[in-house]
Structure formats: structure tokens, C-alpha cells
Amino acid sequence: MFPRDRNQAYERAPLGELLGVLLRQFKRPLAAQGIPLTDSEAVELGEQIAASSAPPERVEPLRAALRALVDESVGVLARWNLTFAQSLETEMSDIPGWETTAEFLAIANEKANAELRIATGAALLAALGDMTYVSALLHLVERERTAGSDLDTVIARRVLLSASGIDPAAPDWREQLAEWCARFNC
């Protein structure tokens, strides 16, 4: 879990800035999908996505690349018969296929990268209006009740509340969010 002040920084940061940070984290995987981004382009695109003004010719290729990256990570977890939600709750000692420390570390890294790519990719997709993986984001928000807040949770909550138009100050925002997400078969 990240220090609370880091979470608070992500809570307060303008959404466009936050999306720019996420896009910068995805630079290499996006480049491998044929979408090269410089840091400044990622920041600019994050601002455009938050303002719903991203050029359409950039949006659909970005959505397709993000879906492919998330699908790939879903496939990684499926090798261990895990969904995203199950993977977050599964300890490495319960993952088969390792005997040595090196194998353990390699699999742990692969699992953590897949979880991160799913969480981040789903957030970017939702910000782009693609709710394919909204259930992963809702799971992160619901998981906050028992596991506490972490960076992925903050991002999921911010993106979902923005996409849904739900007021984060509403006392029943969680219930409203669950109802809104149900429209996407969460």
C-alpha cells in the first residue's frame, strides 16, 4: 500500500494530469501496439481525454491498443485460472509453477504487472468512454471497503465517478456507482 499522502496527491490532482501520468506509464506497451507517445504528448492527450476533446483519429486506435493490452494481461492471469478480482486476493504461495526463488520472483512480477496493466488500462479505457473493463474498476472501488485505499483504487474511483457524472460528495455515491456500472454488466 502506498503512503496516504501519495494517495491524497492523486485524489487532488486534476483528472487530466492523472490521465497523463497513466498514459506515460503505458508508453512502452502502447509503442509496441503502434502508438508511440512522448511524455509531452501523453500529458496533452490526458488533458484532452479529461476534457472530452481528444481527436477522434487518436481515440479509436488508443482504445484498440489498450483493449489488446488489457486482454493480454487477462490472459496472463487466466494461465493460473484467475480473474482480475481473484488475482488481487491470491497470495503468491497459492500460485503454481515455481520452485526456485528466481521462478517465484518471475511469476510474482508477471502477476503484478498483469494486475497493474488491467487496472490502469481499464481506467484509461473508461476515461475514453469504453466500459469493456468497468467491472475491474468497480471491484477496486468495492475492495477499498475491506483492503483500504491504494493508488489503483483512487484512480478507479476518480475515473468512474467522472465517467458516470456521480458527485463524489454524495453520501450514497457507492450505491449510485454500482447501479451505473450494472448497465455495463458488472
- The whole-number average pLDDT for the span 65-85 is 97
E strands, the chain, are: none
Lookup: cell for 141: 472501488
- The whole-number average pLDDT for the span 129-138 is 95
pTM (two decimals): 0.92
Orientation angle between helical segments 101-127 and 134-147, nearest 10 degrees: 120
Q: Which of 3-12, 32-41, 70-79, 159-168 has the lowest mean pLDDT?
A: 3-12
Kindly report the CA angle at 178 between 112 and 120, in degrees rounded to 5?
Answer: 25
Q: Looking at residue 3, what is its pLDDT?
A: 47
Work out the pLDDT band at 84, boundaries 50, 70, 90. Answer: very high
Q: Looking at residue 2, what is its pLDDT?
A: 43
User: Strand, helix or coil at 44?
Assistant: helix
Overall residue count recorded for the chain in this entry = 186
Q: Which residues contact 67 (CB under 8 A, 6 or more apart)?
A: 121, 125, 130, 132
Identify the residue with better confidence: 184 or 88: 88
Statement: residue 1 has pLDDT above 90: no
User: Residue ranges of the domains in the chain?
Assistant: 4-182
Work out the pLDDT band at 150, boundaries 50, 70, 90. Answer: confident
User: Strand, helix or coil at 58?
Assistant: helix
Q: Looking at residue 93, what is its pLDDT?
A: 87
